[in-house]
Amino acid sequence: MFYFIGIKGAGMSSLACLLKDYGYEVIGSDVEEYFFTEDNLAKHDIPILPFNKDNIKANYTVIVGNAFFNNEEHVRAQELGCEIYTYNEYLGLLSRKFNSIAISGTHGKTTTTNLIKQILESKEKINYLIGDGQGGGSKESNYFVFEACEYRRHFLKYYPNTLVITNIDYDHPDYFVNIEDVQDAFGKLVAHSKKVVYNGDDELVKVIIPKDKLSISFGLQADNDFYADNISNDQRYTYFDLYIKNKYISQIKVPLFGTHVVYNSLAALAATYDIINDIDIIKEVLKNFVNSKRRFEELIINNQVIISDYAHHPTEIKATLESIHLKYPFKKVIVYFQPHTYSRTIKLFDKFCESLSLADKVYLREIFSSAREHDATISINDLAKAINKSEVINDDSYLEEFPKYHNAVIVFMGAGDIDKLYSKYIEKIQKKDNFS
Protein backbone atom coordinates (compact mmCIF):
# COMPACT_ATOMS: atom_id res chain seq x y z
CA MET A 1 0.00 0.00 0.00
CA PHE A 2 1.31 3.44 -0.97
CA TYR A 3 0.20 6.40 1.11
CA PHE A 4 0.71 9.94 -0.26
CA ILE A 5 0.87 12.86 2.18
CA GLY A 6 -0.21 15.85 0.10
CA ILE A 7 -1.64 13.81 -2.76
CA LYS A 8 -3.24 16.75 -4.59
CA GLY A 9 0.12 18.26 -5.56
CA ALA A 10 0.64 18.17 -9.33
CA GLY A 11 3.60 15.81 -9.21
CA MET A 12 2.28 13.77 -6.28
CA SER A 13 -1.06 13.10 -7.96
CA SER A 14 0.67 12.10 -11.19
CA LEU A 15 2.90 9.63 -9.34
CA ALA A 16 -0.08 8.22 -7.43
CA CYS A 17 -1.91 7.54 -10.69
CA LEU A 18 1.17 5.91 -12.21
CA LEU A 19 1.53 3.53 -9.25
CA LYS A 20 -2.20 2.72 -9.32
CA ASP A 21 -1.90 1.79 -13.01
CA TYR A 22 0.95 -0.49 -11.99
CA GLY A 23 -1.43 -2.46 -9.79
CA TYR A 24 -0.52 -1.04 -6.39
CA GLU A 25 -3.05 0.00 -3.78
CA VAL A 26 -2.83 3.78 -3.43
CA ILE A 27 -4.43 6.17 -0.96
CA GLY A 28 -3.58 9.70 0.15
CA SER A 29 -4.47 12.75 2.15
CA ASP A 30 -4.64 16.49 1.63
CA VAL A 31 -6.58 19.63 2.46
CA GLU A 32 -10.30 19.63 1.69
CA GLU A 33 -10.05 22.53 -0.78
CA TYR A 34 -10.66 21.47 -4.39
CA PHE A 35 -7.65 21.26 -6.72
CA PHE A 36 -7.82 20.30 -10.40
CA THR A 37 -5.62 17.22 -9.90
CA GLU A 38 -8.50 15.59 -8.03
CA ASP A 39 -10.14 14.82 -11.37
CA ASN A 40 -7.40 12.42 -12.43
CA LEU A 41 -7.23 10.86 -8.96
CA ALA A 42 -10.98 10.22 -9.12
CA LYS A 43 -10.64 8.55 -12.53
CA HIS A 44 -8.11 6.18 -10.94
CA ASP A 45 -10.38 5.53 -7.93
CA ILE A 46 -7.77 6.83 -5.49
CA PRO A 47 -9.33 7.89 -2.14
CA ILE A 48 -8.38 11.27 -0.64
CA LEU A 49 -8.61 11.56 3.14
CA PRO A 50 -8.28 14.59 5.43
CA PHE A 51 -4.98 14.73 7.31
CA ASN A 52 -5.09 12.53 10.40
CA LYS A 53 -2.21 10.70 12.05
CA ASP A 54 -4.47 7.66 12.55
CA ASN A 55 -4.59 7.19 8.76
CA ILE A 56 -1.01 5.86 8.83
CA LYS A 57 -0.39 2.11 9.23
CA ALA A 58 2.95 0.44 9.87
CA ASN A 59 2.88 -1.56 6.62
CA TYR A 60 2.44 1.53 4.40
CA THR A 61 5.08 2.85 2.05
CA VAL A 62 4.74 6.59 2.59
CA ILE A 63 5.56 9.28 0.04
CA VAL A 64 5.57 12.75 1.56
CA GLY A 65 5.07 15.96 -0.41
CA ASN A 66 7.68 18.67 0.01
CA ALA A 67 5.17 21.03 1.67
CA PHE A 68 4.16 18.52 4.35
CA PHE A 69 7.37 17.55 6.09
CA ASN A 70 6.79 16.92 9.80
CA ASN A 71 3.02 17.22 9.66
CA GLU A 72 1.14 14.83 11.96
CA GLU A 73 1.03 12.00 9.42
CA HIS A 74 4.71 12.25 8.55
CA VAL A 75 5.61 12.19 12.24
CA ARG A 76 3.40 9.13 12.82
CA ALA A 77 4.96 7.33 9.83
CA GLN A 78 8.40 7.90 11.34
CA GLU A 79 7.22 6.64 14.72
CA LEU A 80 5.80 3.45 13.14
CA GLY A 81 8.97 2.80 11.16
CA CYS A 82 7.26 3.04 7.78
CA GLU A 83 9.31 3.02 4.61
CA ILE A 84 9.31 6.74 3.75
CA TYR A 85 10.35 8.60 0.60
CA THR A 86 10.14 12.17 -0.50
CA TYR A 87 8.48 12.64 -3.89
CA ASN A 88 11.86 13.38 -5.45
CA GLU A 89 13.56 10.37 -3.86
CA TYR A 90 10.95 8.01 -5.29
CA LEU A 91 11.23 9.57 -8.74
CA GLY A 92 14.97 9.02 -8.48
CA LEU A 93 14.36 5.29 -7.98
CA LEU A 94 12.09 5.17 -11.03
CA SER A 95 14.60 7.11 -13.15
CA ARG A 96 17.15 4.35 -12.53
CA LYS A 97 14.68 1.50 -13.02
CA PHE A 98 13.47 2.48 -16.51
CA ASN A 99 14.78 3.87 -19.77
CA SER A 100 13.96 7.32 -18.46
CA ILE A 101 13.54 10.64 -20.25
CA ALA A 102 13.60 13.64 -17.89
CA ILE A 103 12.38 16.99 -19.17
CA SER A 104 13.96 19.96 -17.41
CA GLY A 105 14.21 23.69 -18.03
CA THR A 106 12.88 26.86 -16.47
CA HIS A 107 10.04 27.15 -19.01
CA GLY A 108 8.13 24.71 -21.20
CA LYS A 109 8.61 21.52 -19.17
CA THR A 110 4.96 20.48 -18.98
CA THR A 111 4.16 21.04 -22.65
CA THR A 112 7.38 19.36 -23.79
CA THR A 113 6.80 16.37 -21.50
CA ASN A 114 3.27 16.03 -22.86
CA LEU A 115 4.54 16.27 -26.46
CA ILE A 116 7.09 13.50 -25.82
CA LYS A 117 4.50 11.38 -24.02
CA GLN A 118 2.00 11.63 -26.87
CA ILE A 119 4.64 10.90 -29.52
CA LEU A 120 5.94 7.81 -27.73
CA GLU A 121 2.41 6.57 -26.99
CA SER A 122 1.79 6.36 -30.73
CA LYS A 123 4.12 3.37 -30.85
CA GLU A 124 5.02 2.35 -27.29
CA LYS A 125 3.32 1.77 -23.97
CA ILE A 126 4.93 4.18 -21.53
CA ASN A 127 5.06 5.30 -17.94
CA TYR A 128 4.67 9.05 -17.58
CA LEU A 129 4.41 11.81 -15.05
CA ILE A 130 3.39 15.31 -16.15
CA GLY A 131 3.21 18.48 -14.07
CA ASP A 132 -0.44 19.18 -14.89
CA GLY A 133 -1.58 16.19 -12.82
CA GLN A 134 -1.42 13.56 -15.57
CA GLY A 135 0.21 10.28 -14.65
CA GLY A 136 -0.03 6.74 -15.88
CA GLY A 137 1.84 3.48 -16.16
CA SER A 138 2.05 0.15 -17.94
CA LYS A 139 3.82 -2.97 -16.71
CA GLU A 140 4.68 -3.71 -20.35
CA SER A 141 6.73 -0.53 -20.75
CA ASN A 142 10.40 0.14 -20.18
CA TYR A 143 10.03 3.89 -20.78
CA PHE A 144 9.50 6.54 -18.12
CA VAL A 145 8.85 10.14 -19.24
CA PHE A 146 8.74 12.75 -16.47
CA GLU A 147 9.23 16.38 -15.54
CA ALA A 148 12.33 17.35 -13.61
CA CYS A 149 11.98 20.61 -11.65
CA GLU A 150 15.09 22.52 -10.61
CA TYR A 151 13.61 24.05 -7.44
CA ARG A 152 15.89 23.45 -4.45
CA ARG A 153 17.94 21.18 -6.72
CA HIS A 154 15.30 18.47 -6.27
CA PHE A 155 16.12 17.08 -9.71
CA LEU A 156 19.58 16.04 -8.55
CA LYS A 157 17.90 12.92 -7.14
CA TYR A 158 17.32 11.80 -10.75
CA TYR A 159 19.58 9.76 -13.06
CA PRO A 160 17.88 9.80 -16.48
CA ASN A 161 19.03 8.00 -19.59
CA THR A 162 18.03 11.06 -21.60
CA LEU A 163 17.87 14.58 -20.20
CA VAL A 164 16.02 17.30 -22.11
CA ILE A 165 16.85 20.93 -21.27
CA THR A 166 14.37 23.38 -22.80
CA ASN A 167 16.11 26.55 -21.54
CA ILE A 168 17.67 28.16 -18.47
CA ASP A 169 16.35 31.37 -16.91
CA TYR A 170 16.49 32.93 -13.46
CA ASP A 171 13.59 31.82 -11.28
CA HIS A 172 12.90 30.64 -7.70
CA PRO A 173 14.73 33.62 -6.19
CA ASP A 174 13.82 32.39 -2.70
CA TYR A 175 16.36 29.62 -3.28
CA PHE A 176 18.73 30.39 -6.16
CA VAL A 177 21.16 33.25 -5.53
CA ASN A 178 21.69 34.21 -9.18
CA ILE A 179 21.66 32.78 -12.70
CA GLU A 180 25.05 31.13 -12.16
CA ASP A 181 23.56 29.23 -9.24
CA VAL A 182 20.78 27.97 -11.54
CA GLN A 183 23.33 26.95 -14.19
CA ASP A 184 25.34 25.08 -11.56
CA ALA A 185 22.30 22.99 -10.65
CA PHE A 186 21.59 22.10 -14.28
CA GLY A 187 25.26 21.31 -14.86
CA LYS A 188 25.19 18.75 -12.05
CA LEU A 189 22.06 17.16 -13.55
CA VAL A 190 23.84 16.91 -16.92
CA ALA A 191 26.55 14.91 -15.15
CA HIS A 192 23.86 12.48 -13.90
CA SER A 193 22.56 11.85 -17.41
CA LYS A 194 23.74 9.51 -20.15
CA LYS A 195 22.52 11.69 -23.04
CA VAL A 196 21.42 15.32 -23.24
CA VAL A 197 18.95 16.90 -25.67
CA TYR A 198 19.43 20.65 -25.26
CA ASN A 199 18.49 24.07 -26.59
CA GLY A 200 21.49 25.02 -28.69
CA ASP A 201 20.29 28.60 -29.09
CA ASP A 202 20.40 29.22 -25.34
CA GLU A 203 23.89 30.35 -24.37
CA LEU A 204 23.20 29.62 -20.71
CA VAL A 205 22.55 25.99 -21.64
CA LYS A 206 25.29 25.52 -24.24
CA VAL A 207 28.12 26.36 -21.86
CA ILE A 208 27.19 23.60 -19.38
CA ILE A 209 27.24 20.76 -21.94
CA PRO A 210 30.65 19.03 -21.93
CA LYS A 211 32.14 18.52 -25.39
CA ASP A 212 32.50 14.79 -24.79
CA LYS A 213 28.86 14.36 -23.68
CA LEU A 214 26.53 12.34 -25.89
CA SER A 215 24.19 15.11 -26.94
CA ILE A 216 21.69 16.42 -29.51
CA SER A 217 21.04 20.14 -29.95
CA PHE A 218 17.88 21.82 -31.21
CA GLY A 219 16.94 25.39 -32.05
CA LEU A 220 16.27 27.91 -34.79
CA GLN A 221 19.90 28.28 -35.83
CA ALA A 222 21.23 26.06 -38.62
CA ASP A 223 24.22 24.82 -36.58
CA ASN A 224 21.88 22.75 -34.38
CA ASP A 225 21.32 19.02 -35.02
CA PHE A 226 17.55 19.63 -35.20
CA TYR A 227 16.46 23.05 -36.39
CA ALA A 228 13.37 24.84 -37.65
CA ASP A 229 13.11 27.29 -40.55
CA ASN A 230 10.33 29.04 -42.46
CA ILE A 231 8.09 29.49 -39.39
CA SER A 232 4.56 30.73 -40.03
CA ASN A 233 1.07 30.42 -38.60
CA ASP A 234 -2.61 30.72 -39.35
CA GLN A 235 -5.46 30.71 -36.83
CA ARG A 236 -5.23 26.94 -36.30
CA TYR A 237 -1.56 25.96 -36.51
CA THR A 238 2.06 26.99 -36.30
CA TYR A 239 4.09 25.62 -39.24
CA PHE A 240 7.82 25.10 -39.63
CA ASP A 241 10.25 23.20 -41.81
CA LEU A 242 12.24 20.57 -39.91
CA TYR A 243 15.90 20.02 -40.70
CA ILE A 244 18.10 17.32 -39.17
CA LYS A 245 21.84 17.82 -39.61
CA ASN A 246 21.15 20.34 -42.40
CA LYS A 247 18.91 17.93 -44.31
CA TYR A 248 15.31 18.96 -44.95
CA ILE A 249 12.92 16.36 -43.48
CA SER A 250 9.37 17.69 -43.66
CA GLN A 251 6.99 20.50 -42.76
CA ILE A 252 5.64 20.21 -39.19
CA LYS A 253 2.42 21.74 -37.91
CA VAL A 254 1.32 22.11 -34.30
CA PRO A 255 -1.99 23.52 -32.98
CA LEU A 256 -0.15 25.92 -30.63
CA PHE A 257 1.30 29.39 -31.10
CA GLY A 258 4.51 31.31 -30.47
CA THR A 259 8.23 30.78 -30.96
CA HIS A 260 8.43 28.89 -27.67
CA VAL A 261 6.08 26.28 -29.17
CA VAL A 262 8.57 25.67 -31.98
CA TYR A 263 11.34 25.14 -29.42
CA ASN A 264 9.18 22.74 -27.37
CA SER A 265 8.27 20.81 -30.52
CA LEU A 266 11.90 20.59 -31.60
CA ALA A 267 12.87 19.29 -28.15
CA ALA A 268 10.23 16.57 -28.42
CA LEU A 269 11.28 15.69 -31.97
CA ALA A 270 14.95 15.44 -30.99
CA ALA A 271 14.15 13.25 -27.97
CA THR A 272 11.88 10.80 -29.82
CA TYR A 273 13.01 10.73 -33.46
CA ASP A 274 15.31 7.72 -33.16
CA ILE A 275 12.81 5.81 -30.99
CA ILE A 276 9.82 6.21 -33.33
CA ASN A 277 11.89 6.24 -36.53
CA ASP A 278 8.91 7.38 -38.59
CA ILE A 279 8.44 11.09 -39.27
CA ASP A 280 4.90 10.57 -40.60
CA ILE A 281 3.76 9.12 -37.26
CA ILE A 282 5.38 12.00 -35.36
CA LYS A 283 3.85 14.59 -37.68
CA GLU A 284 0.38 13.16 -37.13
CA VAL A 285 0.78 13.26 -33.35
CA LEU A 286 2.03 16.86 -33.39
CA LYS A 287 -0.82 17.94 -35.69
CA ASN A 288 -3.37 16.47 -33.26
CA PHE A 289 -1.58 17.38 -30.04
CA VAL A 290 -3.85 17.73 -26.98
CA ASN A 291 -2.49 20.48 -24.77
CA SER A 292 -1.85 20.21 -21.06
CA LYS A 293 -4.17 21.38 -18.32
CA ARG A 294 -3.85 25.14 -17.68
CA ARG A 295 -1.49 25.67 -20.63
CA PHE A 296 -3.28 28.04 -23.01
CA GLU A 297 -6.53 26.27 -22.10
CA GLU A 298 -9.22 28.15 -24.01
CA LEU A 299 -12.98 28.28 -24.44
CA ILE A 300 -15.01 30.45 -26.80
CA ILE A 301 -18.34 31.59 -25.36
CA ASN A 302 -20.46 34.12 -27.21
CA ASN A 303 -17.94 36.62 -28.54
CA GLN A 304 -15.25 36.10 -25.91
CA VAL A 305 -12.20 33.87 -25.97
CA ILE A 306 -11.51 32.85 -22.36
CA ILE A 307 -8.09 31.40 -21.54
CA SER A 308 -6.62 29.84 -18.42
CA ASP A 309 -2.83 29.83 -18.41
CA TYR A 310 -0.22 28.82 -15.82
CA ALA A 311 2.30 31.54 -16.80
CA HIS A 312 3.80 32.98 -13.62
CA HIS A 313 7.24 34.18 -14.74
CA PRO A 314 7.76 37.27 -16.94
CA THR A 315 9.26 35.18 -19.74
CA GLU A 316 6.21 32.91 -19.74
CA ILE A 317 3.78 35.83 -19.58
CA LYS A 318 5.48 37.43 -22.58
CA ALA A 319 5.37 34.15 -24.53
CA THR A 320 1.68 33.58 -23.74
CA LEU A 321 0.61 37.12 -24.65
CA GLU A 322 2.63 37.05 -27.87
CA SER A 323 0.94 33.74 -28.72
CA ILE A 324 -2.49 35.26 -28.15
CA HIS A 325 -1.67 38.22 -30.37
CA LEU A 326 -0.53 35.79 -33.09
CA LYS A 327 -3.70 33.73 -32.92
CA TYR A 328 -6.11 36.63 -32.38
CA PRO A 329 -4.42 39.66 -33.96
CA PHE A 330 -7.58 41.79 -34.09
CA LYS A 331 -8.89 41.20 -30.58
CA LYS A 332 -8.18 43.17 -27.42
CA VAL A 333 -6.36 41.15 -24.74
CA ILE A 334 -7.54 41.53 -21.14
CA VAL A 335 -5.38 39.87 -18.47
CA TYR A 336 -6.35 38.95 -14.92
CA PHE A 337 -3.03 38.12 -13.29
CA GLN A 338 -2.27 36.71 -9.86
CA PRO A 339 1.47 36.82 -9.03
CA HIS A 340 2.90 33.70 -7.43
CA THR A 341 5.17 34.23 -4.39
CA TYR A 342 6.41 37.47 -2.88
CA SER A 343 10.06 36.65 -3.60
CA ARG A 344 9.47 36.19 -7.34
CA THR A 345 7.39 39.38 -7.52
CA ILE A 346 10.08 41.42 -5.77
CA LYS A 347 13.07 40.01 -7.65
CA LEU A 348 11.48 40.20 -11.12
CA PHE A 349 9.31 43.26 -10.53
CA ASP A 350 10.45 45.33 -13.54
CA LYS A 351 10.19 42.34 -15.87
CA PHE A 352 6.63 41.65 -14.72
CA CYS A 353 5.72 45.25 -15.56
CA GLU A 354 7.34 44.94 -18.98
CA SER A 355 5.73 41.63 -19.94
CA LEU A 356 2.24 42.57 -18.72
CA SER A 357 2.39 45.75 -20.79
CA LEU A 358 1.71 43.54 -23.84
CA ALA A 359 -1.94 43.34 -22.71
CA ASP A 360 -4.49 46.00 -23.57
CA LYS A 361 -5.79 46.01 -20.01
CA VAL A 362 -4.42 44.37 -16.85
CA TYR A 363 -6.40 43.39 -13.77
CA LEU A 364 -4.39 42.20 -10.76
CA ARG A 365 -5.23 39.98 -7.80
CA GLU A 366 -3.37 39.83 -4.51
CA ILE A 367 -0.13 37.84 -4.56
CA PHE A 368 -0.53 34.11 -3.96
CA SER A 369 2.05 33.31 -1.30
CA SER A 370 3.92 30.05 -1.05
CA ALA A 371 3.68 27.87 2.05
CA ARG A 372 7.39 28.56 2.50
CA GLU A 373 6.89 32.37 2.69
CA HIS A 374 5.77 34.22 5.78
CA ASP A 375 6.61 37.89 5.30
CA ALA A 376 4.47 39.93 2.91
CA THR A 377 7.00 42.65 2.06
CA ILE A 378 5.20 43.66 -1.14
CA SER A 379 1.55 44.02 -2.10
CA ILE A 380 -0.34 43.82 -5.37
CA ASN A 381 -0.89 47.57 -5.13
CA ASP A 382 2.84 48.12 -5.69
CA LEU A 383 2.59 46.30 -9.00
CA ALA A 384 -0.59 48.12 -9.97
CA LYS A 385 1.09 51.51 -9.46
CA ALA A 386 3.88 50.51 -11.86
CA ILE A 387 1.72 49.13 -14.70
CA ASN A 388 -0.25 51.41 -16.99
CA LYS A 389 -3.87 50.46 -17.70
CA SER A 390 -4.05 48.26 -14.61
CA GLU A 391 -6.30 47.98 -11.58
CA VAL A 392 -6.74 45.62 -8.64
CA ILE A 393 -9.74 43.32 -8.18
CA ASN A 394 -9.59 41.15 -5.06
CA ASP A 395 -13.29 40.31 -4.84
CA ASP A 396 -15.90 38.85 -7.18
CA SER A 397 -16.54 42.08 -9.08
CA TYR A 398 -14.58 40.68 -12.04
CA LEU A 399 -17.70 38.60 -12.74
CA GLU A 400 -19.53 41.80 -13.63
CA GLU A 401 -16.55 43.63 -15.13
CA PHE A 402 -15.26 41.15 -17.70
CA PRO A 403 -18.49 40.56 -19.68
CA LYS A 404 -18.26 44.22 -20.75
CA TYR A 405 -15.36 43.34 -23.06
CA HIS A 406 -17.02 42.27 -26.31
CA ASN A 407 -15.05 40.40 -28.98
CA ALA A 408 -12.03 40.21 -26.66
CA VAL A 409 -9.65 37.65 -25.19
CA ILE A 410 -9.89 37.29 -21.39
CA VAL A 411 -6.85 35.60 -19.82
CA PHE A 412 -6.81 34.23 -16.26
CA MET A 413 -3.11 33.89 -15.57
CA GLY A 414 -0.93 32.63 -12.72
CA ALA A 415 0.24 29.57 -10.78
CA GLY A 416 -1.89 30.13 -7.67
CA ASP A 417 -5.61 29.54 -7.39
CA ILE A 418 -6.75 31.90 -10.16
CA ASP A 419 -7.95 28.88 -12.13
CA LYS A 420 -10.86 28.70 -9.68
CA LEU A 421 -11.84 32.23 -10.71
CA TYR A 422 -11.63 31.17 -14.36
CA SER A 423 -14.01 28.27 -13.63
CA LYS A 424 -16.36 30.57 -11.74
CA TYR A 425 -16.41 33.04 -14.63
CA ILE A 426 -17.05 30.28 -17.18
CA GLU A 427 -19.94 29.00 -15.08
CA LYS A 428 -21.47 32.48 -14.81
CA ILE A 429 -21.36 33.41 -18.49
CA GLN A 430 -22.52 29.94 -19.59
CA LYS A 431 -25.58 30.37 -17.37
CA LYS A 432 -26.11 33.85 -18.77
CA ASP A 433 -25.83 32.46 -22.29
CA ASN A 434 -28.34 29.70 -21.56
CA PHE A 435 -30.95 32.11 -20.22
CA SER A 436 -30.37 35.09 -22.49
One domain for residues 144 and 280 = yes
Q: Is the pLDDT of residue 375 over 80?
A: no
User: What pairs with residue 307 in β-bridges?
Assistant: 298, 411
Q: Which domain holds residue 41?
A: 2-86
Residue that is last in its domain, among 41, 57, 86: 86
Let me know whether 385 and 312 are in one domain. yes
On whether both 283 and 220 belong to a single domain, the answer is yes
Longest dimension (CA), the chain: 66
Domain boundary among 51, 86, 121: 86
Torsion from C-alpha of 423, 361, 406, 333, nearest 10 degrees: -80
Residue in 276, 251, 227 with CA at minimum distance from that of residue 115: 276
Reported pTM: 0.88
Within a domain: 119: yes
**Which domain-ending residue is among 33, 51, 86?**
86
* CB atoms inside a 10 Å sphere around CB 8: 22
Question: pLDDT tens-digit profile of 109-135?
Answer: 999 999 999 999 999 899 999 988 889
Asked if 337 and 429 sit in the same domain, the reply is yes
* Residues facing 334 on adjacent strands: 361, 410
Q: How far is CA 147 from CA 74, 109, 123, 322, in A?
A: 25, 6, 21, 25
Residue 403 pLDDT > 80: yes
Domain-embedded: residue 292? no
Q: Based on the structure, what is the number of domains in the chain?
A: 3
For residue 436, pLDDT beyond 50:
no
Res. 2: pLDDT tops 90? yes
For residues 126 and 431, what is the distance between their CA atoms, to the nearest angstrom? 40
252, with CB counted inside 10 A (0-12, 13-18, 19+), is buried
- Percent pLDDT > 90 in the chain is 86
CA distance 391 to 369: 20
Q: If you average pLDDT over residues 28-33, what whole number do you get?
A: 93
